Every structure is written in structure tokens, then in C-alpha cells.
């Protein structure tokens, strides 16, 4: 623990970091100014958390405000996936070059995450820690890679007793955080924790609504099929009675039974196709994309942001193919792009769905790509199956943009 906890070492490194004395006559004014600033910080962050369209943007805005108001210019946030319990880098600001390499920001173990897992890092136990991820570069005195950073304040994120993640903040001219600043950071952490839990509850409500809709449709199918089978049985029974005395009348009844059978079979196939669960755990596409982004971020260190515009659920066949296209594109980002950030956007405009994947990696020359490259071939085949269009824009040093547009009517399923 002595090598991890860095409060005393940080004090030694920067000399006496005690709070400067305030003359007695100025104490009330200083207190009022500090309290006013603290309230301004908390109000601004509360507004950002309430107005941001998703958790990732809320975290980025929070880091920006902490940087502006407390002078802590660098920060990053680890969140724990509630399903896999793996950590992924959800947001970052002004990372030093050493930490901009995605391999440095995977969900692997580090000192602050270890203490968080062990329960030693709590909202009432915020502390300054040495950054184990920066330590190799610090030991080599590679200040051009660390920008002089070695320590950070680790603020645990909780909702009530549920651990959510860790927010780390620091600055190039490291200073001791005062007790008041630590309290402000703790309050900010509570606000962030509430925002994260609120977003996750919204996801759960959406999932529950989807499950209830699927159950309702299943009941409707059952009722429809039951009625159809009853009608078929009646026509066949009537046909059997007329078979000997009136073959023509029997044939009409049997033909009608066949018509109802064909209609019911087609309806059942269409309904079951809509109800099938081709995505992980039967999730709707937005949730499946978010889970995919978290998993790939934990593996690769690339921060993957998912933006989904509100829209009705897509046909199951369309969701399945778009998910596979997104997975292939993001896998390429993690393996080949050397990117630090990627964004997945899903939107429906009119009767078309559009999926885009953009990264800030090294890019490539599409016209020089081998025509048999498996990933691109697979994406093109899936887009053709949906009768959609695939567009890829990239250039060396300028990242890559992949856009898929598919019709929502007449898609093959």
C-alpha cells in the first residue's frame, strides 16, 4: 500500500503543501467566495448531467468543468460494465502521450482499480495515488510522454452502495487538494453516480418494455393461430362429411382449409421473425451496440461512443445484420486503426436506417485495399442482403468513416 498511496510522496515532491493562512479579518469573505465557487461548480455540473444526451457526453462535460474550475486539466473515467464486471475507459480529457496509446487504457488491473475492487476506495476516502499506468514512463523520466504527471486524485463513483467506477483527475502542476476541494469532488462523484444509474435504469425500462411487447405479440400469435386452426378443422370436418355424397362441395371446403393454412403459416413466419432474438441476450439494437462497445473498449483501450437517436424498433432481420456490420467495423478499429476514439451512430430518417462508424485512427487508402479483404467483403454482403448502400471514406492519417444506409421496407430477412 505504501507504494500505491502517494499523499506523503506527493507532498514531499512538491514541498510544503499546507493551506495558506488567511488573515482573521478576511476569513468571512474568503469563506463566502469559496462557497460561492463550490456552489457554482456543483450547479454547472448538475446542469450538464441533466442536459447531456447520454452518460459519455455527461462524463466528458464533467471532466471539462472540473478542469476549468479546479485547474485539474487531465482526467479519465473508468466504468464497470454491470454485466461482465469489466472496466472500460468511458471518457478522457487531455491525456498525456503515454496514455493516449489505447493499449495503456484497456480494462486491465491497475492500483486505483484494485483498491476500488477491494472496497478500500470509497466516497469518504478520496486520496491522491501514484498512477501505476504512468509509472514505467515516470521511471524513465520521459517527461515528454507524461507531461510531468505521476499522481492523480481517484474519486470513486457509487450509487448508494452500488460501485460504478472511478474518476481520476490531475494536472501538470500538481498541488495538494484542500479538504474543501475533496468534498466538492465527492459531491460531484455522487451526482455523476446518480446520472449513471438513472441512465442504466432507463435502459432497463426500455428492455422491460421491449420484453412486454414481445410477450403481447406472442399472445396475439397464439390467439390468431388458435382461431385459424379451429377454422381449418371445421372446414376439413365439413369436407369429410361431403366427400362421399358431394365431392365438389367437399373439394371447396378442403380448398378453403388450404387457403387458411397458407395464410396462417405466412403470418406465423412473419410474426416469429419479428419476435426472434438474433442479438445478444435478445436485446434491441441500441443496447446490443452499447454492450459491444464496452467489451471492445475493455479489450482494446479505444473509447467507443454510441449515439442512438430515438426511433421505433427496427425489424429483427435489419437489427441482426446492422449489429454484425458494426461488430466487424469496430473489430477492424481495434485491430488495425491505431485509434483512441470511435463513434457509432444509429438513426432512422423516414423509411431508412443509417449506421455510421467513425474513428480517429491512421486511416488507409480504400482504393488500394485488397478486393478479397474478409472484413469488407462480409460488410458488403450483409448490406446487399438488406438492399442497402455501403460507403467508406478514409485517407492515411485522417481516420475512417463507414456509413451504411438500408431501407426498412422490402428488406430481405
Residue 305: per-residue pLDDT: 92
Arch. (CATH architecture) of 206-275: Up-down Bundle (1.20)
Residue 18: per-residue pLDDT: 40
Residues 6+ apart with CB under 8 A from 294: 79, 81, 84, 86, 88, 304
- The closest alpha carbon to 378, from 390, 366, 367, belongs to 390
- Hey, what CATH topology would domain 282-407 get? Heat Shock Protein 90 (3.30.565)
Task: Say if residues 131 and 151 touch (Cβ distance below 8 Å).
Answer: yes
| Neighbouring-strand partners of residue 173 | none
| pLDDT tens, residue by residue, 131-173 | 999 999 999 999 999 998 998 989 899 888 888 999 999 887 6
d(CA 361, CA 383): 24
Domain over 7-203 is classified CATH 3.30.450.40 = yes
d(CA 112, CA 159): 18
Domain ranges of the chain: 7-203, 206-275, 282-407
Residue 303: per-residue pLDDT: 93
- The closest alpha carbon to 88, from 336, 341, 364, belongs to 341
Residues of the chain with pLDDT under 50: 1-25, 273, 276-277, 372, 374, 412-413
| pLDDT tens, residue by residue, 46-63 | 777 776 667 777 788 888
Residue 270: per-residue pLDDT: 57
Using left for φ > 0, alpha for ψ between -120 and 50, and beta otherwise, residue 387 falls in left
Residue 223: per-residue pLDDT: 62
Residue 111: per-residue pLDDT: 92
Task: Say if residues 316 and 110 touch (Cβ distance below 8 Å).
Answer: no
pTM for the complete prediction?
Answer: 0.65
Task: Say if residues 155 and 185 touch (Cβ distance below 8 Å).
Answer: yes
Cell digits of residue 135:
509509472
In SS3 terms, the chain reads as: CCCCECHHHHHHHHCCCCCCCCCHHHHHHHHHHHHHHHHHHHHHHHHHHHHCCCHHHHHHHHHHHHHHHHCCCEEEEEEECCCCCCEEEEEEECCCHHHHCHHHHCCCCCHHHHHHHHCCCCCCCCEEEECCCCHHHHHCCCHHHHCCCCEEEEEEEEECCEEEEEEEEECCCCCCCCHHHHHHHHHHHHHHHHHHHHHHHHHHHHHHHHHHHHHHHHHHHHHHHHHHHHHHHHHHHHHHHHCCCCHHHHHHHHHHHHHHHHHHHHHHHHHHHHHCCCCHHHCCHHHHHHHHHHHHHHHHCCEEEEEECCCCCCCHHHHHHHHHHHHHHHHHHHHHHCCCEEEEEEEEECCEEEEEEEECCCCCCHHHCCCCCHHHHHHHHHHHHCCCEEEEEECCCCCEEEEEEEECCCCCC
Amino acid at each position: 500500500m505504501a507504494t500505491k498511496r502517494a499523499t506523503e510522496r506527493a507532498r514531499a515532491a512538491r514541498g510544503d503543501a499546507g493551506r495558506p493562512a488567511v488573515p482573521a479579518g478576511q476569513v468571512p469573505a474568503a469563506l463566502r467566495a469559496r462557497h460561492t465557487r463550490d456552489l457554482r461548480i456543483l450547479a454547472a455540473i448538475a446542469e450538464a448531467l441533466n442536459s447531456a444526451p447520454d452518460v459519455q457526453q455527461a462524463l466528458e462535460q464533467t471532466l471539462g468543468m472540473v478542469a476549468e474550475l479546479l485547474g485539474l486539466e487531465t482526467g479519465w473515467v473508468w466504468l464497470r460494465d454491470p454485466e461482465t464486471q469489466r472496466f472500460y475507459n468511458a471518457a478522457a480529457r487531455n491525456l498525456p502521450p503515454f496514455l493516449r496509446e489505447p493499449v495503456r487504457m484497456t480494462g486491465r488491473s491497475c492500483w486505483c482499480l484494485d483498491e476500488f475492487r477491494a472496497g478500500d476506495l470509497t466516497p469518504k476516502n478520496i486520496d491522491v495515488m501514484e498512477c501505476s499506468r504512468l509509472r514505467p514512463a515516470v521511471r524513465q523520466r520521459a517527461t515528454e510522454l507524461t507531461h510531468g504527471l505521476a499522481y492523480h486524485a481517484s474519486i470513486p463513483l457509487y450509487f448508494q452502495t452500488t460501485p460504478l467506477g472511478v474518476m481520476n483527475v490531475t494536472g501538470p502542476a500538481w498541488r495538494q487538494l484542500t479538504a474543501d476541494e475533496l468534498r466538492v469532488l465527492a459531491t460531484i462523484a455522487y451526482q455523476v453516480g446518480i446520472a449513471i444509474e438513472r441512465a442504466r435504469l432507463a435502459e432497463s425500462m426500455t428492455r422491460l418494455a421491449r420484453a412486454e411487447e414481445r410477450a403481447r405479440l406472442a399472445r396475439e400469435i397464439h390467439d390468431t393461430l388458435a382461431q385459424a386452426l379451429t377454422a381449418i378443422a371445421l372446414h376439413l370436418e365439413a369436407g369429410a362429411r361431403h366427400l362421399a355424397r358431394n365431392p365438389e362441395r367437399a373439394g371447396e371446403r378442403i380448398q378453403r382449409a388450404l387457403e387458411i393454412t397458407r395464410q396462417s403459416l405466412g403470418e406465423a413466419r412473419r410474426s416469429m421473425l419479428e419476435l426472434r432474438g438474433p442479438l445478444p441476450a435478445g436485446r434491441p439494437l441500441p443496447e446490443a451496440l452499447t454492450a459491444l462497445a464496452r467489451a471492445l473498449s475493455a479489450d482494446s483501450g479505444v473509447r467507443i461512443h454510441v449515439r442512438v437517436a430515438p426511433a421505433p424498433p427496427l425489424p429483427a432481420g435489419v437489427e441482426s445484420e446492422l449489429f454484425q456490420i458494426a461488430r466487424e467495423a469496430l473489430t477492424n478499429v481495434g485491430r488495425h486503426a491505431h485509434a483512441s476514439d470511435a463513434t457509432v451512430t444509429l438513426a432512422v430518417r423516414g423509411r431508412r436506417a443509417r449506421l455510421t462508424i467513425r474513428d480517429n485512427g491512421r486511416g488507409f487508402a480504400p482504393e488500394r485495399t485488397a478486393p478479397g479483404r474478409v472484413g469488407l467483403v462480409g460488410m458488403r454482403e450483409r448490406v446487399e442482403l438488406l438492399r442497402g448502400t455501403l460507403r467508406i471514406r478514409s485517407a492515411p492519417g485522417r481516420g475512417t468513416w463507414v456509413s451504411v444506409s438500408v431501407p426498412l421496407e422490402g428488406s430481405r430477412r
